[in-house]
Each structure stands twice: as structure tokens, then as C-alpha cells.
Structure 1
């Protein structure tokens, strides 16, 4: 077991070259491997690449685009000089903690992928295994992180946090109360590093360009998928085109010559949550359904094979996380610990029954939320899952042959449920 633990903290090293050139016909893109010269506790300087890949026995390297450009058709891809994760310098690793590996960097990257659409207000995204587990706006940065963390305290354990404003002392105090792997922000105010330093294994990373992240909204990059036979699938990166109410489309359909349309229009709060939710959805592994309310995630369902199933999973997760939060607020311990202590005879079962009853009565905070689906509902059953939990509005891609069924479901609901189409799918694999 000692060797296994050591494996997770050992820097594997790699045999990848310092430079890599990719040629697209007569166009060339040049990449350089990112390494960091870091001063150790004993004063020696060591040059390191990333710790390892997805697992400790996989060599890995990080490359930054440093030369060349690419234009394919009408698409001009991102140019050199715009490095974010690939541009992290040794001076930006304000606290190294455990040296970062591939998963840490891809979590930061997907956090940036989401938060680049949320730059107008203080916001925080917490990620685990390249999926958001909590995302929120806030009246200030500390409030944004607190809301994101309380959306899913369980999954946030050991997560990566991306903040879109300089980290202040109030936010640092909240961060230091959690076990986290990475905290990333455009800057860290004076005194915050001493607070965050209470967590010795925490990686604290500054990304200078993060304050200009909104500029990356329209940037495209080349997205590679490697196949087991050594082949490649290459695609343009996705762009979120739903950025305002004007981008939303009416939920209407025709079936056997009859016209169907949603009878209730979303209000301003629901539209705001639609825009926010679609931005978060942009970074969630498909098939996915999420629920958001007042600029904060309530339940996130990721990576399922069927849409009704993922809608149900997101509801189940919302109930589990809500009960855990109630337990923590009431008794100062996680729900799982409460259940264990009841089983051990250390607590009264009435404490658990009270939390369960309140969670059921509150329906885990789902009533009034907006249901977001990254693609169309092939049948109304997926939408019915959310409607039965009291969602007030739905945002989905539209385009199903049976869109009329979901429209009918919204109109039959009491009270009626608003719905809009995006006309855009948001799959991510």
C-alpha cells in the first residue's frame, strides 16, 4: 500500500519531444512542451513537466501553441500568444502543493471553458473529473464560491475551483475550509496565499489572461480525438451561440398538420437562468440534463446513455446533495456520517427522519428551477421528470420529430411551464 500511495505523488517524467509540429496541408502549427523550473524546499532547482497522465503509469506532456496559424474554410483558429493553461509559467504556480498532473490541468481548462461565458458577474465553477459539480454567480466572489460549493458539498471534496475575479481574503477563508486540489484565479490579493497555505497540498495557480477570458468566447481551436488504432478524428471546437434572450427561439412544432406552441413565455429570471445554464451545460459531458435556479446549479446529470435517465439522475443527485447540506447546516456533519452514527447507536434516528422529511417537502429546491438539456427530448418523458419536480421553465435544443409532445407537457402542467429552443446542440464527449 505504501508503494501505491507513493505512486500518486511521484513525478513520472516523459519522453515526449520539446517541440512538436503539426502540418495541415501547406499550413503548419508549432507547439512547445511546457516545463517549469521550480525551487525545492532545500533550495535546489528542478525542471518538471506535468506529473503524469490520467493514471500514474501514463507519461504525459503539456504543449503550448507558439508558432503558425490555421485557416480552414471560413474558420480561423486561435493564434499563438493566447495561452491559458498551456501558458502557465513557474511564477504563476503560487503554491505547487502536489505537482499538477493531466487531470488537474484539464479540470482548470474546462472550468475556463465554462466561466468564459460568465465574466459579466462574479462567478465560480467547481469541477471534478472534467465535469462541473457546482457553478454559481454571486453578489461578490466569496458568495459565488459559497453558492457553488453548497450546490454539491460532496463532489466538491478534492475538486478544482476556477474563479473569474481576483481571490480576496473572504473567498480565501472559505476556500481554506475545504479540501481542494486546485484553486485558479486571475490574481490573488495580499494575504490570501498565507490563508490558502494552510492547505499544504493545494495547488494555487494564477492565470494572467483570465481577466480577459470573455475574448475567448469566439476563439476556435483544433480538437483532436485519438483512436485506438492510432488514427485521429479532428474537429473544430464548439462555440456557445446562446448569449442573450435574442438568441432563444420559440418552442413551436407541427405534427400531422396541427401547430403546437408553448403558451407561457419565460420571465426575466428564467431567461437569465437559461443563459447561465446553457453556459454551464457547454462544459458538461453528454448526454446531460441540469437544473439551475437563481444563477446556481441545483442538480447536474452527466454522461448518461438516455435522456430520461439522466434527467432522473440529476433529480436524485439534487435530493442527495440537498439532504447533505441540510445535515451539515443543522448538525455540522455530512449526511452519510449522520446515517452511520445512527446505525452505530450514537444518534437518534429522528434527526435523519427530520432531514428526509424536509428534503422531500422542499423537493430539494427544484421547484422554480430551469431544466436545461444539451439536446432535444426525443419523447416527453424526460421533460416530465423535471415538470413533476416543479421546474418552471425548460431550455432544450429542439428539433425532435416529437417536439409537440414536450410542448403539450409544458402546457398541461399546473402551473404552465415555459420553454425555449436553442436551435443548437451542446454535446461534449
Structure 2
């Protein structure tokens, strides 16, 4: 008779699976709560204590950590010496292990969970069983996922589980234990306050295989953070439209990063190819939309739109007039949703904005041979710390506009220049190899220059040419980080044109 060891936290679909194992000639060894469930279902089980001759101790911390269990898993059936050792010590081989692990992830996701509770939900015996069974996959079938129950039963019913399937299940088990240990590692590292661990362990869960990646010849997959964030494009509820593409997700993520900067009044961010083509704000969402649209009525075509207020009918009717890829908002009024959903392909996403200030995690980017990791750029901007460096002092209105432009340039690809008034962006220059070209692009888009216009630069001016271009265009206020060895040249140029210029002391590169 073959033997199966069953010990699971997730007991969904367990009883039918084990009943089929019994019908196929397996005897069942089980532990604790799993044994109770099987016994109540009328399935005869053998307790682990009967196998080991030793009781569960230390409040269940030690149950299966015993040679009578692990030798039964690790013995090679093709090795006569192994089999002789089993016979000598009266150890029965174990042919199938069905184990899933203590709910550590679910425990640490609970609000206010204490360290002691988290520690008690670190499974020790379960990973040991899985690792042992997986190491000996040529002789042992290891099952960690209820999604695999049917396949295992199907193959057993035909004779035995194939070696190919056992190999695949073993690899899956090691992925599970690696991910499990990664979460424990992340949690404990955070608890002890280590910011730069010598090993960085990250784990993600497959969400879907995508149609393609950045281009149609590139395969792509979407993986979700194992500890999901509430304010994330992956947490949004899609109300209408096709699945999001690889590029859609990247653009939508940028739109969310930008829109969370603007909380105090209705704001609309139009994102195009990872850069804002228009940001508008107003007393109403409709007014904010009008201003975002006016910022660049050409580039907004096919854009990704993020709004920080629920979409109303008036705003929806205006958005409906042009082609948009995605609209993200904290909600949609029923009549607004009806209007926008008339377009088959537009993606409409609803996301809870109450979590927009949740603590961010490290962001990573791949490079050949490794990854870069950094904190997110979520610095709260504080104009009271800014330094006026010119003879002309900015007015209160200019300072308010500078803050708006500064937040906009923060989410524009470097080299980044944004020209804006206190209602909307007027011109955006992004991603140029030199700053003066970005300045020329932004100023050209802003022409004719609004008398309220300010210019924001994400990093310092290496020369005074950007200040000169701003002065010649009629811009009267500039916000920039400062810190160049030629700052004095830029200050003198600003004074020449009567420009009020402030240094923030902080740059916002976005590569």
C-alpha cells in the first residue's frame, strides 16, 4: 500500500482529493487540524505520532521533524542500501506529500499585527517536508496547490504520476518555499530596521501572461507584488474595455504617480508615453479637464487620463469626443459611465484614492546583470524651504504657480522643463539630451506666453541659456533646484530680465 502525508492550512477541495487517494490504495498520514477534518469526513487516517512514536510537542511546533518521516521521504527507491536502512528501522516510504504552509502572508497583512503573532505563523515543518519531497521527486509526488489535485488524480488513476509531472511539481514546491522565505525575510528585515541588506529577496505572483511587451515581438508577463498595494494600477477595478497592455500599465502607473501630487482641488493629468502632456486643475472636474485638454490638444489624443475626483456627466461628455486609451478615477457617476462606455475599446478603471498616501515600497528597475533599487520620490514639497536668489522676489501667486509647475516637472522625463500658469501646464519639454532643447520645446508649446507663466526645471541649469530663453519669451518666474557651479551666471541672467528665481535645493530627475 502506498502512503500519503497530508497536512494543509488551506483545506478547500481537500476531502474529495483525499477520498480519491484512498480509493486508489493510499493510506493517509495526517496531523492536527487536517486529521480532524479528514476524520470527520469518514476517512481513516494515521496520526503522525503513530508513525514517529513521539507526540506533537511545543504547542505543535514539532510534529513532522523526525527520521521516521524524512527518511520515508528522502530514501531513493533505486538504492538498495537506502531500502535496507528503511527496513532495518521499520520506516515506511512516503510516496505523496500534500502540504501548504501556515498563512504568514495573510498574518502580516492584518492591520496592527504583532511580531509575536507573525513569528508563530512561520512554518518550519511544512517547508522541510516540501523540500525533502521535492529533492526526491523521482520517487515522491509533492502537491502544494489545490489546482493540481485533478491532474495528480488523473495520472494516478492511469497508473502513476509521471516523472515529468513530479519534476514540475517539485519545481513549483521550491518556488513556493522560496517565495515564503522571501516574505519572511522582507518582514523581519523591516522589523530590525536594516535598509541595505546584503541579500535582497523579492517575490511576486503571476497575474497574467500578456499578449506582448513593449513591442509585439517581445514576450511579457505581469507579476503582482506578493504584498499588494492598494493605490496601484493593479488594484484598480476595470469597469469597461479591453485588457491593459504592457505599455498601458506603464503609462497608467505614471499617471497615478502624478495625480497623487494634486489633492487639494479637482485635477486632471493626461499622460502620453510616460510624460504628462497636460495637467489642469479647476473649481470643477470639468474645468480641470478643459485646462488639461487645452494644454496640448494634439498630444492628448490616445492618452491616459487620471482624475482625482469621480467622473461626472459633463466631464465624460467632453472626454467622449476624443480617442483616449484609459481613464482612471476614484469613481464614475452612472450616466458618465454610460457615456464613456459607448466606446468599445476605452479602458475605464476605478481605484480607491483613499490610499494614495500609503507608505511606498522600494522601486526597482532591471539592468543587464542585476537590478537597481531605490526609494520612491514621494518627497512632500515645502515652498517655505525654498531660497529666493534673485533681486526680484516672487509674489504669493507666483509661488503657488511654482509649486504646481514643480509637481508637474517632477513627473516628466529628464531633462525636464515645464511652463505653467496657476491653472494648467502650458508647455512640456521632456527627455532631450540637453536642457536648453527641452526649454525651447516647452516655451514653444506655451507660446504666446501667459503673463502668469512660470518655468520649472527638474535639475539645475548648467549654463544661463535656459534662463535667457525664458527671459526672452517673457517668463517672469523660475523654480529650479540650484547647485550648479555656474549658478551665479543663471542668477545674473535672471536679474537682467527681472525674473524671480527660487532654488528648492532638491532635484527630481526621472530617467
TM-score, with length taken from structure 1: 0.71
Residue 307 of structure 1: which of 435, 448, 466 is its match? 435
The answer to whether the 8 A contact 1:291-1:366 is kept is: no
Cα RMSD after superposing both structures? 2.1
Which residue does 1:43 correspond to in 2?
Answer: none
The superposition leaves residues 376-414 of structure 1 with CA deviations (integer Å, 9 ceiling, x where unpaired) of 11111111111111111000010111111111112111x
Residue 53 of structure 1: which of 190, 198, 213 is its match? 213
The answer to whether the 8 A contact 1:166-1:187 is kept is: yes
Which residue does 1:235 correspond to in 2?
Answer: 374
Partners of 2:406 and 2:394 in 1: CA distance: 15
| Structure number with higher strand proportion | 1
Structure number with bigger Rg? 2
**Pair 1:163-2:247 in alignment:** no
Partners of 1:125 and 1:27 in 2: CA distance: 34
The answer to whether the 8 A contact 1:368-1:390 is kept is: no
Which residue does 1:297 correspond to in 2?
Answer: 425
Which residue does 1:287 correspond to in 2?
Answer: 415
Which residue does 2:15 correspond to in 1?
Answer: none
Task: Give SS of 1:104's match.
Answer: helix
TM-fit CA distance, 1:82: 2.9
Which residue does 2:297 correspond to in 1?
Answer: 153
Which residue does 2:453 correspond to in 1?
Answer: 369
Task: Give SS of 1:365's match.
Answer: coil
The answer to whether the 8 A contact 2:231-2:351 is kept is: no
TM-fit CA distance, 1:102: 1.4
Residue 94 of structure 1: which of 233, 239, 254 is its match? 239
Residue 389 of structure 1: which of 469, 473, 477 is its match? 473
Query: Within 5 Å, which residues of 2 pair with 1:129-140?
Result: 129-140=273-284
Which residue does 2:486 correspond to in 1?
Answer: 402
Residue 501 of structure 2: which of 419, 425, 428 is its match? 419
Task: Give SS of 2:448's match.
Answer: helix
Which residue does 1:65 correspond to in 2?
Answer: 225
Partners of 1:124 and 1:211 in 2: CA distance: 17
Which residue does 2:189 correspond to in 1?
Answer: none
TM-fit CA distance, 1:34: 2.5
Task: Give SS of 1:201's match.
Answer: coil
Which residue does 1:265 correspond to in 2?
Answer: 393
Q: 1:247 to 1:116 in 2, by over 3 A?
A: farther
The superposition leaves residues 93-122 of structure 1 with CA deviations (integer Å, 9 ceiling, x where unpaired) of 1112x3210111111111111111101110
Which residue does 1:33 correspond to in 2?
Answer: 206
Q: Quick one: higher RCO (CA 8 Å, sep 6+), 1 or 2?
A: 1
The answer to whether the 8 A contact 1:377-1:398 is kept is: yes
The alignment covers a number of residue pairs equal to 322
TM-score, with length taken from structure 2: 0.60
**Pair 1:200-2:344 in alignment:** yes
Residue 362 of structure 2: which of 198, 222, 233 is its match? 222
The superposition leaves residues 343-402 of structure 1 with CA deviations (integer Å, 9 ceiling, x where unpaired) of xxxxxxxxxxxxxxxxxxxx4234431000011111111111111111110000101111
Partners of 2:364 and 2:354 in 1: CA distance: 27
Partners of 1:383 and 1:395 in 2: CA distance: 11
The superposition leaves residues 219-261 of structure 1 with CA deviations (integer Å, 9 ceiling, x where unpaired) of 343222222x33222222223342x32132232xxxxxxxxxx
Partners of 1:134 and 1:83 in 2: CA distance: 22
Partners of 2:211 and 2:306 in 1: CA distance: 20
TM-fit CA distance, 1:28: 4.5
Which residue does 2:286 correspond to in 1?
Answer: 142
